[in-house]
Structure 1
Amino acid sequence: MHWYEDDDLWVGFADVMFPPSRAEEAERLTATSPLLKVAEGARVLDLACGPATHVLPLAKKGAEVTGVDLSPAMLERAREACEAAEVSVKLVQADMLEYVEPGAYDLIINMYTSFGYFTEPGDNRTVLRNAFTSLAPGGSLLVDVLGKEVLAGWVGRPQAVDIDGGTVFMRDTILDDWTRLKTDWTLVRDGEVKQASILSFLYSAAELKALFEAVGFTDVECFGDFDGSPYDDSARRLIVRGVRAG
């Protein structure tokens, strides 16, 4: 079983991955970010949607939102959140390596380093190709990851994050000549210890931009944050956007 197929990981570390502050940030970004601006009725796919962190605020803006995730537990949380907010969305359990809906979407988003899960680079390229196929002509794909250039500024420093009733200790390790990242998490709470490891492929801005272009995207741009700022030495994230030409 691959690490991302383990629902115990998503449930056990949900407080770290999806704290209330992340939902609050999603609400703010969908209201203010030029990269997440959607027209009412726009068809939006959140690929690896988790517990509806962005699905919910985008649906509130009037978009027709589909959330796809492999985790049944995360989709159940997404369903509960959307029902509580009385918004209508479509939620699908599927693997992003296989999910394709030709021409179905105006915007596809992939947030919080949910890209690069696959060890084989060709599989990650397949995810982009699936997204390209699933976009209507003129539609855009937005991928948000932690770029190599940003990661290099702080990787290797252990971190401790306090959560409700406990603490998570995190350590990052660069693997295979800066092509992959391993993150080890240790959760200490209520006298119990849980451990998990996450593996993901690493991309620089140039590498991810080239991958977008290789599958057919045009007008590919890199940004350093959701305000549309450039990807430079002040960047907080690596956000890449590409267009499926009409």
Structure 2
Amino acid sequence: MDWYEDDDLWTGFAEVMFPPRRAAEAERVVATSPLLKVAPGDRVLDLACGPATHLVPLARRGAVVTGVDLSEAMLARAREACERAEVQARLVRADMREHVEPDTYDLVINMYTSFGYFTDPGENLAVLRNACISLAPGGRLLVDVMGKEVFAGWVGRPQAVDVDGGTVFMRDTVLDDWTRVRSDWTWVRGNEVRRTSLHSTLYSAAELQALFEEAGFTGVECFGDFDLSPYDNHARRLIVRGTRA
């Protein structure tokens, strides 16, 4: 079983991955970012949607939303979040390497470094190709990751995150000549110790832009935040947008 297939990870470390501030941030960027601007009736697909962090605010703005995730535990949380918010969402359990709905969406999003999970570079490319096929002509794909250049600025410094009743210690290790990273998490709560490791591919802006173009996207642009700021030495994230011709 690959790490991302383990529902115990997504449920056991949910407080770390999806804290309340993340939902508040999603509300803010959906309300303010030109990259996430939708009109009522726009069809939006969130690949690796998790607990509907972005689906809920997008649905509130009138979008017709679909969330795809491999984790049934995350989809259950997404259903609960949509019910609490009294919004409608179509939720699908599927592998993003295989999920394709030709000519269906106006916007596809993949947020919070949910891209690059797969060791085989061809499988990550397949995710982008599937997204391109699933977009209607003129539709856009938005991928939000921790770019290699941003990551290099702070990697190597262990982090400690306080959670309810305990602390999660995080340490990152760069692998394979700066092409991949392993993140080791240790949760200490009283006498309980829980450990997990996450793996993902590291992309520079140039590498991810080239991958978008190989997948069939045109007009590919890179940004350093959701306010359209440039991807430079002040960037917080790497956000790449491409358009299906």
Q: Which runs of 5+ in 1 are unaligned?
A: none
- Counterpart code for 1:158: P
Q: State the Cα RMSD in Å.
A: 0.5
Q: Measure, in 2, the Cα distance between the counterparts of 1:4 and 1:17.
A: 13
The corresponding residue for 2:186 is 186
Q: Are 1:54 and 2:54 an aligned pair?
A: yes
How far is 1:190 from its partner?
3.6
Q: How far apart are 1:13 and its partner, in Å?
A: 0.3
Q: Structure 2 unaligned segments of length 5 or more: list them.
A: none
Q: 1:87 matched to which residue of 2?
A: 87
Paired position in structure 2 for 1:8? 8
Q: Between the two proteins, what is the percent identity of the paired residues?
A: 77
Residue identity matched to 1:27: E
**TM superposition shift of 1:165:** 1.1
Matches within 5 A, 1:121-136: 121-136=121-136
Normalising by the residue count of structure 2, what TM-score does the alignment of the two structures yield? 0.99
Name the structure 2 match of 1:139.
139
Aligned to 1:27: 27
Structure 2: which amino acid aligns with 1:5? E
State how far apart, in whole Å, the 1-side matches of 2:11 and 2:41 are: 32
Superposed counterparts of 1:58-207, under 5 Å: 58-207=58-207
CA distance in 2, matches of 1:189, 1:137: 50
Q: Report the equivalent of 2:213.
A: 213
2:224 maps to 1:240: no
Partner of 1:17: 17
Provide TM-score, normalisation by structure 1.
0.99
Residues 195-216 of structure 1 show CA distances to partners (whole Å, capped at 9, x for unaligned) of: 0000001100000000000111
- For residues 76 and 67 of structure 1, the distance between their equivalents in structure 2, rounded to whole angstroms, comes to 12
Q: Structure 2 counterpart of 1:105, which letter?
A: Y
Instruction: Compute the displacement of 1:141 (Å).
Output: 0.2
For 2:189 and 2:76, the matched residues in 1 are separated by 24
Runs of 4+ in 1 over 6 A off after TM superposition: none
Aligned residue in 1 for 2:231:
231
For residue 66 of structure 1, what is the amino acid of its counterpart? T
Name the counterpart of 2:37: 37
